[in-house]
A and B are shown apart, each in its own frame.
Chain A
């Protein structure tokens, strides 16, 4: 099927700096979304497990909503619609560009829904008696969660959290819809400029594969070590 196509990889070496910058953007977005996802996801998970019903329902609605919508759509909303709405609502002067920040926030909010589910399972994996024992020693609920339940929950969750981080890294490629020069966006731009889209997209795919495969192998290795310990 490639019989008539002549591969030409020559535009890649000269663009490596630009592509490297794109990769850094991807990694930055990943790191930001992991931190935001774990913090916001932990709060969502605790809300879902709360005995205060409206809080639990609100958190469940949030998680179910974001898990039932394609990521690319969330990104577009936060890129196109939310900034416009904010502009008119907050009376921002026209021209103040909040689109990228908005898209980033959308990304973090989306990923938090997935983190919330992982963290909820992690919290539930800690025996109930641990919370009772912490309470019996006079600890308040926040103290008991912070010092007793969450440390154990996170320990149980480490492999899942890392796996989710790898998925999240792949998901960052979708931010190209917000015209952000992430790794995939950068590769696309170079390919478009030089008329070598096929090569650049293949190259980008290979890089994603190598990074993600290596990371998932590392997680597996780590998991086995954890099980032996």
Chain B
């Protein structure tokens, strides 16, 4: 589904990603972790072309992200993305947030889009809030709406960029529950997250990044039982202590 092949990226002299290669199969859940500044968010943003890269290429469902002739908007319309800071559109109601891209990008008619939007809003347990504005919801609720907004586009895979990092602790689980359910339904997912409990429960594979490189790429069992690199061992020791 997603193939990342020798991707490198730099800002001027600063190397952000070095020779990153991995893949995500259909129906697979891959968690990307690593210390801050390791390039994991940049890598996931390269997958739908939000961040350009200089070398290598990424294929999503057979379409090259790096090729100049690729229509990135068309590709992104079917790759769901969830951001750290939700990025709901604050000047629109929840309902309009859910329908805008369906109508403008997928050219669905308004009623069909609203029906679809409300279906997914119901799935994340927030149907009663359709008429509200994002500012009237809690962070956890906003993130669940953001997931519903992405799902309403009928994505072939979902990218999560630290979806719980900006949330108060008591709201993290409501978002992780939605993600877990999604994974159990067989959605292809790539998740940048520090939630190791989620990784243990849900992930098939774990990728560990450090200094712009993919240091480990293993099944979750192997990763948690026996991380090969010293850097990953240190990272896990720090995170799992608490």
Contact = CB atoms under 8 A, between A and B. Distances in A.
Q: Are both chains from one complex?
A: yes
A129 B104 contact: no
A133 interface: yes
Interface of A: 127, 129-130, 132-140, 143, 147-148, 151-152, 155
A129 B85 CA distance: 8
Contacts of B188: none
Contact of B89 (A130, A136, A140): A130
A6 B87 CA distance: 68
A151 B89 CA distance: 10
Contact of B76 (A129, A135, A151, A152): A135
Contacts of B45: 132
Interface string B104-146: 1110000000000000000000000000000000000000000
B239 interface: no
B32 interface: no
A209 B233 CA distance: 73
Contact of B90 (A135, A138, A140, A152): A152
A136 B91 contact: no
B60 to A, nearest CB: 13
B91 A138 contact: no
Nearest to B51: A132
19 contacts: A127-B85, A129-B87, A130-B89, A135-B76, A136-B48, A136-B50, A136-B76, A136-B83, A136-B150, A137-B100, A137-B101, A137-B149, A137-B150, A137-B153, A138-B153, A139-B73, A139-B104, A139-B105, A143-B105
Given A129-B83, A147-B100, A147-B104, A135 B73 contact: yes
By DSSP majority rule, is chain A's interface helix, strand, loop, or mixed? Answer: helix
Given A143-B105, A148-B89, A133 B83 contact: yes
Given A136-B150, A143-B105, 5 more contacts: A136-B48, A136-B83, A137-B100, A139-B105, A151-B91
Contacts of B88: 133
B143 to A, nearest CB: 12
B104 A130 contact: no
Nearest to B49: A135
Nearest to A137: B101
A143 B48 contact: no
Contacts of A133: 81, 83, 87-89
Contact of A138 (B73, B83, B87): B73
B101 A152 contact: no
Contacts of B72: 135
B77 interface: yes
A152 to B, nearest CB: 5
A164 B178 CA distance: 48
Interface string B37-81: 000000001001010000000000000000000001111111111
A124 B153 CA distance: 28
B76 A137 contact: yes
A136 B146 CA distance: 12
A139 to B, nearest CB: 6
B89 A138 contact: no
B101 A139 contact: yes
Contacts of B85: 127, 129
Contacts of B74: 138
Contact of B81 (A127, A130, A136, A151): A136
A139 B149 CA distance: 13
B77 A137 contact: yes
B87 A132 contact: yes
A137 B88 CA distance: 11
B164 to A, nearest CB: 16
B131 to A, nearest CB: 17
Contacts of B89: 130, 133-134, 147-148, 152
A134 B90 CA distance: 12
Given A135-B76, A138-B74, A130 B87 contact: yes
B48 to A, nearest CB: 6
A12 to B, nearest CB: 48
